[in-house]
Structure formats: structure tokens, C-alpha cells
């Protein structure tokens, strides 16, 4: 057998195989984006030494110019992957304004077995044997022994965990299929039943990729969208893998429902897509090809009916649908096409149900509590339901950590035959958009890692254009703007740089932020009191939530009152001295506004008004107090309607956004005569300047996240904006 030398680097419970581009943790591979892996190799090979950030950037992108933030976000991802897997141990040190240093001891192990994997039992023995053939030192022998013991222990543990579902315990195999930049993020993708093709959508359009050769072709955009380029979302393949079905809608619509959406058939042989149906959103195709399921008739939570049609878009018939206050999506078929599972959403949350197509009532597969963090799922021919779910801690912290779980479903009864069990333990990213081959041996998913940071821009006098946009926070944590001090020289931030969210304060001429809060509870919604002496904020805990104050110069916090878990507060600007608490009633039909004194706590009720029960208009990003304390702006519904409610007895006002229909957040501009509204677009968000007649103009485009926090400085000259980017790519998993 021919041999070639492989080099393994061991540090903590990790093994890094540079020749195989593999990082393993306790015997399991850890997926990393290519640039993140390259950065890890550079840092590990120079462990203990400072790597200049400019040098690192040049080594990662030798032939192109990229922003400094690209290095920071990849190092941030590495830091999170390594530290979260080891209970917060620090591996990478950031030296402000200079670069990075790998601070954990690294041992090198040479292994000539080309076809072996770093995390197998046989390789553990080889790692010890061949490591000791190098110049022998006590340190090297101890390191090799430690690696061998680690590999044997982790390998045994891995085999034990896998034994119930796989008698031979094959190793998990991962492969990255796309490598788009964050400026052209992948939105969704699906693998063909025969495993030959990947159909996927990105911000540039829709594409078909040959998985074996990597050959890629783009799909032409159809006519009928007013000259604009349609936004594509690939759906599911026909059983013979000759074509797939996709959804298309107007640019900027970004509505995950049938409203304004059409279904198209796309052939792998080429040619223009062919429209099958309007006002419909494709779901899945039956295994025998007899029917396509699609959603229709948008209700409170999305499409509330599931219909079937043939592959030519004809012979449509309603399958079933709940009431107006529920929605159903994502049909998955049993192998014999006689039973389906689907997701139902109502006021209690998400749940997974199974149902016989001919008769019978639904059977619960996952209850709302079990499906709280549910992202996506796929039903395999062997009876397993593979689903991805956000970690409970990630949900509360706004993080993006998801993992795969599995359970088995009896195809004849639709009942689950085992309890859910975890398949992966991956930190630092989320996975969704699941699809599998017809034999269930290949599973494709969308891997996404989110990065949030604060930017500061200058706003022109007419409030129509931003200039001199700069990256304000230079950390690798999630940094979110909350408020400004009265002199417009300092920003109040929410940041998770210590592992949980705290309130920080940072001047425009400063490089680092000073913490104002401490403790393990996440805090949020920081506001400067009108007199400028305090920073008020909320602390997540068992309801009711606390509202606290801390001196703006630093000091001990004090609890001043409490609010419902879905309530929040807001403050006007000096010389007005008003702060208010905004809380929905128990039935969420009204929003109650109560005075808040930063020194004395809760005051008397000021007013209340009706909410649109079809939306979550009680979210803290969906309502805002004007700078003069005279009005509250609130997002009424998902059709671009904004209500202006007077706190001084004047008649209410309604604004309807012109040319925009998916508002996400609303705040007042510094003058109090206009609004700053974020609106969803495919793959991101736009920030709009809106006058009180509904006329809107684009100030900022952000690709990567569907929420843009923005805070105007009191003098009206600057905006602090939450910017984001997403590393988004399609991956394939085998031997799971």
C-alpha cells in the first residue's frame, strides 16, 4: 500500500486533520466553512504567537479585497465552536487593534495511513506509534499518549451512542456543496431523489448543480413580474428527478405564504420555467408522483389549507385545513403515499401531526413544547423523522445554534414508536431546509451562521441619505444598538460578549465598551432616562420581568418595577420627562400604556387601544414612543399598516406604507415627524425613511438577517444601525 504523511494537530478534545480538511471533537466531525477552517489551521500552526489581522486577511484572501469584518466573523465563529463545545474554555485570544493568538497548547501527531480518519480507533493506535518515531521528548510522548487515550475513549463513546441505530456504527460523513459569499447568501436548496442534483436559490437567482461534478447552471427568470427579477424559492423534486417545483413572488414581498406566490415547474434539461398555479405555495410531491401538495388561503399564522394537484397543475382538490386561527405547512408523505405528517401552528405554538389521507383524526407526533425550537424536518423511508431544532438556551439568547434530532414513526398508524434522541451536538450555527434522497441515505441541509454588529452612519439634513458608514463595534460578539446619550456622543449597546446579554456603554471616539450590568440573566431594552442620569433596562427571568435602573456613570442596579413577560418600556427625550410601559392585555386584543417614573416606578394608566390580533404587534420592535412623548407608533398588521396613537387625546392616525408590505420594526426619527421602518426583502432587510403620509425611501440595505434595529441620535445627525451577515451554504450528510 502506498503511503503519504498526514499531520494531525491535537488540542484539548479536538483533532485537526489539515489534509482531510477535518476538525473532530470527541470523535465527531465539526462542520466549518472553508475560510473558517483555513483560519483555524493558520492559528493552530502558529499556536502561542500573535497573528496580525492584516496578515491573516491576506493569507485567507490573497487575490481579493475584503472588509476587515470578514476576518472577525470567521474568528468569532471559531471561538464559539471551540468554546461552546468545552464549556467556555478560551482558545483564541483577541489582541485589540493587532490580531489573534491561539492560546491552547497544540501537539502534532504524524500518521502515514492515508485512508484512515482522525477519530477512529485504529488511528488512535497509529497516532501513538508514529508520533514516538519522531525525535522523542517527554512532552511529545505524553502528548501522543493523551491523544491516543482521548481517541480511544471518544471512539468507544461514539460507537456506544450509535449502536442502537447502526450495528456497524459508520462514521458521520459531511460534505459542503455550495460556497457562496455572505453578499450572495444561499436561501434554500433541495437534493433530487436520485442524489444527482442540488437545486438551490441564492440572492442572484436559482441554480441546478451536479453534485458529482460540481457543474452549475442558472435558471432564467420568468416573465410576468413587471420587468423585475422574480425571487425564487426552490421546493421539491418529482420522483423521477427530471424536474423540480419552485415558488416565485415579487421582489421585496418576502411573505412565506401563498399570497402573491406562484408555483413553477423547472426541468433539469433546460428551458424556461413553466407556471402551474397562482396564489399557491408548493410543499411536497407524493412518492409515487400522483400529487403535489400546496398551501393556499392565508390566515392568521400563514396558509391554512392544504390542496393537492397533479404535476401539470390540474385537478386541484382541497385536502384539509384548520380554522382561521391556525395554519398548516410542510407536508411529508409516508413511503406508500397513504399518510402525511405536517406542521400546524396556532396560539399554542408549533406542533407536528400525522394523518391518514382517507380518514381519521390527526395524531400528535411532536407537541408544542417538544417543537418549540423546530426549524424543519424530513420523513425517511426507514420510518425515521429527522428534524432540526434550536437549542433552548439559544432561543432565549437570540442565538443561532441548532442540532439534528430523530424519532421513528409507524407509517400505518402515524404514531411515534420511540422518544426523540439527539443526532448531533454542533455549536455556533443553525441548520434548516432539509431534504433527502429516495433511499434516505443522503440528507441535504442549509447551514447558517449569523453575525450581528453595530454600524454608525451620518444622516443628511433632509433625512434621505446615509454617508460615512463605519463599523462601530469591533468585537466578534453580537452587538446591538439600544439608545444614545443626550449629547449624541455615546451609544448604549446590548452585547453577548460574556456569553449572556448585558448592557454596555461606548463613546463614538472609543474603541471598547464599558459594561453597566453584570450577572447571568440576559438583559435587554436599554434606554437612557429623560434626565440623562440613568440607564433603564429589563432583565429576563421568571415572569414578571423586572425593570431596573443603573447610574449612567456605573454603579449598583436597582429594581424599580415589573412588567409582563411580553411587556416593554420606552422613554421620550429631554426636555420631556415621560417613560411608559406598554403591555398587551391577557387576550392580546388591547395594548395598555402606563406611565413609568425612573425613580418611583409604575404610575397610572395613560390610555389603551385595540391591537390587530392577527399580528404580534406587542413585540418591543413593533411599537415606539415619539421623542416628545406625544404619540406611540405601532405596526398594525403585515400589510404595511402603521397606527399613530395620541397620548394627549388627539384622534388616532393610520399610515399605509406605499410599495412596501412586510414591515419588521418601527422607531421615530429624531425630529418626531417621521419614522424609521425596516421591511423584509429576500435574504435580508431594508431600512426605510417614512413620512407620516406613508411615502418611503430606502436608507440602508442589509443582506443576511430579517431584522434591523436602528436608533437615531438625539441631534438627528447619526444613526446607529444593527448590521448583520450570514454564512449560508448547503451541506450533505451521510451515514447518519
- 640-666 pLDDT, tens digit each: 789 999 999 899 999 988 888 778 899
Identify the pLDDT of residue 647: 94
Please check whether residues 504 and 652 belong to one and the same domain: yes
Q: For 475-513, what is each residue's pLDDT tens digit? A: 878 899 999 999 999 999 999 887 788 999 999 999 889
Exposed (0-12), middle (13-18) or buried (19+): which is 223, by Cβ within 10 Å? Answer: exposed
267-276, 523-532, 621-630, 699-708: the lowest-pLDDT one: 699-708
Average pLDDT value for the chain: 81
In a domain, 243, yes or no: yes
In a domain, 176, yes or no: no
What average pLDDT does this structure show over 549-571?
A: 93
Does residue 214 have a pLDDT over 70? yes
Does residue 179 have a pLDDT over 50? yes
Does residue 119 have a pLDDT over 70? no
> Which single residue is written with the C-alpha cell 418601527?
666
Domain boundary among 419, 440, 461: 440
**Higher local confidence (pLDDT), 78 or 721:** 721
Cβ neighbors of 360 (< 8 A, separation 6 or more) are none
Q: Which domain holds residue 544?
A: 450-728
Identify the pLDDT of residue 161: 37
Identify the pLDDT of residue 147: 35
Please check whether residues 406 and 311 belong to one and the same domain: no
In this prediction, what percent of the chain has a pLDDT beyond 70?
Answer: 83
Highest-pLDDT range among 50-59, 126-135, 627-636, 701-710 = 627-636
In a domain, 1, yes or no: no
Does residue 358 have a pLDDT over 60? yes
Please compute Rg for the chain using Cα positions. Answer: 27
CB 408 within 8 A of CB 416: yes
Number of independent structural domains in the chain: 4
In a domain, 118, yes or no: yes
- How many other C-beta atoms lie within 10 A of the C-beta of residue 429? 24
- DSSP three-state, residue 500: coil
- pLDDT confidence band for 153 (50 / 70 / 90): very low
Q: Which residues pair with 265 in a beta bridge?
A: 245, 274
Domain boundary among 380, 410, 440: 440
- pLDDT confidence band for 616 (50 / 70 / 90): very low
Q: DSSP string of 397-448?
A: HT---EEEEEEEB-TTT--B-S--EE-----S-EEEEEEE-TTS-EEEEEEE
Please check whether residues 251 and 385 belong to one and the same domain: no
> Which single residue is written with the C-alpha cell 453584570?
518
Q: DSSP string of 207-258?
A: EEEETTT--EEEEPPPS-STTSPPEEEEEEE-TTSSEEEEEEE-TT---SSS
Identify the pLDDT of residue 490: 97
- pLDDT confidence band for 707 (50 / 70 / 90): low
Identify the pLDDT of residue 112: 42
**Higher local confidence (pLDDT), 704 or 152:** 704
CATH number for the domain including 134?
Answer: 1.10.10.10
Identify the pLDDT of residue 324: 65
Please check whether residues 572 and 470 belong to one and the same domain: yes
CATH number for the domain including 477?
Answer: 2.120.10.30
Does residue 194 have a pLDDT over 50? yes
Identify the pLDDT of residue 4: 44
Between 68-85 and 34-45, two packed helices, what is the crossing angle to 10 degrees?
80
Q: How far apart are CA 73 and CA 78, in angstroms?
A: 9
Identify the pLDDT of residue 146: 35
What average pLDDT does this structure show over 384-407?
A: 76
Q: How far apart are CA 675 and CA 652, in angstroms?
A: 16
**Higher local confidence (pLDDT), 398 or 674:** 674
Does residue 357 have a pLDDT over 90? no
Q: How many CA atoms lie within 13 A of 107 on its CB side?
A: 23
**Higher local confidence (pLDDT), 346 or 569:** 569
CB 417 within 8 A of CB 426: no
Please check whether residues 292 and 364 belong to one and the same domain: no
Q: For 85-118, what is each residue's pLDDT tens digit? A: 776 688 888 887 788 999 999 998 765 443 333 3
CB 253 within 8 A of CB 300: no
Please check whether residues 542 and 676 belong to one and the same domain: yes
Identify the pLDDT of residue 142: 29
Does residue 1 have a pLDDT over 70? no
Highest-pLDDT range among 124-138, 212-226, 592-606, 637-651 = 592-606
In a domain, 168, yes or no: no
Q: How far apart are CA 600 and CA 588, in angstroms?
A: 27
CATH number for the domain including 295?
Answer: 2.130.10.10
What average pLDDT does this structure show over 121-141?
A: 29
Hey, what long-range contacts does 198-206 have (CB within 8 A, 24 or more apart)?
A: 198/444, 198/730, 199/234, 199/237, 199/244, 199/246, 199/266, 200/234, 200/730, 201/232, 201/233, 201/234, 201/246, 202/178, 202/683, 203/682, 203/683, 203/703, 205/229, 205/232, 206/232, 206/234, 206/246, 206/266
Label the pairing between strands 327-333 and 466-471. unpaired
What average pLDDT does this structure show over 216-236?
A: 74
Helices (H), 105-235: 121-131, 138-162
DSSP state of 144: H
In a domain, 170, yes or no: no
In a domain, 174, yes or no: no
Identify the pLDDT of residue 704: 64
Please check whether residues 352 and 329 belong to one and the same domain: no
Please check whether residues 400 and 512 belong to one and the same domain: no
Phi, psi of 682 (to 5 degrees): -65, 125
Please check whether residues 244 and 380 belong to one and the same domain: no
CA distances from 348 to 19, 86, 326, 336, 351 (A): 49, 35, 10, 31, 9
Q: How far apart are CA 36 and CA 551, in angstroms?
A: 40
* Neighbour-count burial for 552-590, b at 16+ CB within 10 Å, e otherwise: beeeebeebbbbbeebbbbbbbeeeebbbbbbbeeebee
CB 364 within 8 A of CB 351: yes
What average pLDDT does this structure show over 28-36?
A: 77
Please check whether residues 344 and 327 belong to one and the same domain: no
Please check whether residues 262 and 343 belong to one and the same domain: no
What average pLDDT does this structure show over 325-353?
A: 84
In a domain, 400, yes or no: yes
CB 624 within 8 A of CB 630: no
Identify the pLDDT of residue 300: 65
CB 636 within 8 A of CB 604: no
Identify the pLDDT of residue 168: 43
Please check whether residues 457 and 595 belong to one and the same domain: yes
What average pLDDT does this structure show over 281-297?
A: 86
In this prediction, what percent of the chain has a pLDDT beyond 90?
Answer: 39
568-572, 611-615, 706-710: the lowest-pLDDT one: 611-615
Domain boundary among 271, 303, 333: 333
Cβ neighbors of 325 (< 8 A, separation 6 or more) are 299, 300, 301, 346, 347
**Higher local confidence (pLDDT), 204 or 182:** 204
Amino acid at each position: 500500500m502506498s503511503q503519504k504523511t498526514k499531520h494531525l494537530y491535537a488540542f484539548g478534545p479536538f483533532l485537526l486533520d489539515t489534509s482531510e480538511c477535518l476538525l473532530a471533537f470527541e470523535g465527531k466531525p465539526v462542520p466549518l466553512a472553508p475560510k473558517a477552517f483555513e483560519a483555524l489551521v493558520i492559528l493552530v500552526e502558529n499556536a502561542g504567537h500573535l497573528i496580525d489581522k492584516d496578515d491573516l486577511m491576506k493569507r485567507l484572501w490573497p487575490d481579493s479585497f475584503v472588509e476587515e469584518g470578514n476576518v472577525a466573523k470567521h474568528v468569532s465563529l471559531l471561538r464559539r465552536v471551540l468554546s461552546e463545545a468545552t464549556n467556555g474554555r478560551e482558545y483564541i485570544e483577541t489582541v485589540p487593534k493587532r490580531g489573534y493568538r491561539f492560546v491552547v497548547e497544540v501537539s502534532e501527531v504524524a500518521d502515514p495511513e492515508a485512508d484512515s480518519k482522525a477519530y477512529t480507533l485504529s488511528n488512535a493506535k497509529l497516532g501513538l506509534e508514529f508520533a514516538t518515531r519522531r525525535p522523542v521528548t517527554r512532552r511529545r510522548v505524553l502528548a501522543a499518549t493523551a491523544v491516543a487515550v482521548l481517541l480511544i475513549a471518544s471512539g468507544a463513546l461514539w460507537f456506544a451512542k450509535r449502536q442502537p441505530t447502526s450495528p456497524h456504527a459508520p462514521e458521520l460523513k459531511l460534505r459542503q456543496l455550495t460556497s457562496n459569499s455572505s453578499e450572495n447568501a444561499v436561501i434554500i436548496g433541495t437534493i433530487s431523489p436520485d442524489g444527482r442534483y442540488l437545486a438551490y436559490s441564492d440572492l442572484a437567482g436559482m441554480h441546478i448543480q451536479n453534485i458529482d461534478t460540481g457543474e452549475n447552471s442558472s435558471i432564467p427568470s420568468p416573465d410576468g413580474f413587471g420587468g423585475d427579477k422574480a425571487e425564487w424559492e426552490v421546493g421539491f423534486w418529482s420522483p423521477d428527478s427530471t424536474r423540480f417545483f419552485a415558488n416565485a413572488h415579487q421582489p421585496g414581498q418576502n411573505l412565506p405564504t401563498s399570497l402573491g406566490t406562484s408555483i413553477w415547474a423547472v426541468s433539469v434539461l433546460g428551458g424556461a420555467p413553466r407556471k402551474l398555479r397562482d396564489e399557491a405555495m408548493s410543499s411536497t410531491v407524493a412518492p409515487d408522483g400522483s400529487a403535489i401538495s400546496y398551501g393556499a388561503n392565508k390566515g392568521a399564522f400563514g396558509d391554512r389549507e392544504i390542496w393537492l394537484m397533479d404535476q401539470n397543475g390540474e385537478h386541484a382538490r382541497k385536502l384539509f385545513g384548520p380554522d382561521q386561527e391556525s395554519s398548516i405547512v410542510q407536508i411529508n408523505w409516508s413511503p406508500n403515499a397513504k399518510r402525511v405528517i405536517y406542521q400546524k401552528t396556532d396560539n399554542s405554538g408549533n406542533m407536528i401531526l400525522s394523518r391518514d389521507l382517507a380518514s381519521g383524526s390527526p395524531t400528535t407526533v411532536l407537541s408544542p413544547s417538544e417543537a418549540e425550537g423546530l426549524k424543519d424536518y424530513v420523513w425517511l423511508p426507514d420510518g425515521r423523522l429527522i428534524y432540526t431544532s434550536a437549542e433552548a438556551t439559544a432561543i432565549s439568547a437570540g442565538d443561532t445554534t441548532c442540532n439534528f434530532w430523530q424519532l421513528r414513526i409507524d407509517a400505518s398508524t402515524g404514531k411515534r414508536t420511540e422518544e426523540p434522541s439527539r443526532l448531533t451536538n454542533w455549536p455556533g450555527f443553525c441548520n434548516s431546509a432539509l431534504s433527502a434522497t429516495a433511499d434516505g441515505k443522503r440528507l441535504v441541509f442549509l447551514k447558517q451562521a449569523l453575525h450581528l454588529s453595530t454600524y454608525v452612519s451620518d444622516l443628511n439634513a433632509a433625512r434621505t441619505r446615509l454617508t460615512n458608514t463605519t463599523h462601530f463595534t469591533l468585537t466578534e460578539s453580537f452587538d446591538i444598538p439600544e439608545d444614545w446619550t443626550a449629547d449624541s456622543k455615546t451609544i448604549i449597546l446590548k452585547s453577548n460578549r460574556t456569553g449572556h446579554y448585558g448592557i454596555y456603554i461606548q463613546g463614538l471616539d472609543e474603541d471598547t465598551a464599558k459594561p453597566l450590568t453584570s450577572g447571568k440573566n440576559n438583559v435587554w431594552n436599554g434606554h437612557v432616562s429623560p434626565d440623562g442620569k440613568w440607564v433603564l433596562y429589563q432583565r429576563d427571568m421568571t415572569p414578571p420581568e423586572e425593570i431596573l435602573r443603573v447610574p449612567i456613570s456605573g454603579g449598583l442596579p436597582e429594581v424599580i418595577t415589573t412588567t409582563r413577560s411580553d411587556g416593554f418600556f420606552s422613554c421620550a427625550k429631554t426636555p420631556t420627562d415621560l417613560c411608559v410601559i406598554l403591555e398587551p392585555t391577557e387576550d392580546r386584543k388591547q395594548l395598555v400604556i402606563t406611565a413609568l417614573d425612573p425613580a418611583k416606578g409604575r404610575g397610572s394608566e395613560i390610555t389603551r387601544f385595540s391591537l390587530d390580533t392577527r399580528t404580534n404587534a406587542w413585540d418591543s420592535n413593533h411599537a415606539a414612543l415619539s421623542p416628545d412623548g406625544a404619540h406611540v407608533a405601532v405596526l398594525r398588521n403585515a400589510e404595511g399598516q402603521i397606527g399613530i396613537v395620541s397620548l394627549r387625546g388627539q384622534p388616532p392616525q393610520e399610515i399605509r406604507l406605499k410599495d412596501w408590505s412586510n414591515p419588521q420594526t418601527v422607531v421615530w426619527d429624531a425630529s418626531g415627524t417621521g419614522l424609521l421602518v425596516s421591511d423584509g426583502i429576500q435574504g435580508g432587510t431594508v431600512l426605510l425613511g417614512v413620512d407620516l403620509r406613508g411615502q418611503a425611501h430606502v436608507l440602508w440595505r442589509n443582506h443576511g438577517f430579517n431584522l434591523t434595529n436602528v436608533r437615531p441620535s438625539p441631534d438627528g445627525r447619526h444613526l446607529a444601525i444593527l448590521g448583520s451577515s450570514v454564512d449560508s451554504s448547503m451541506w450533505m450528510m451521510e451515514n447518519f
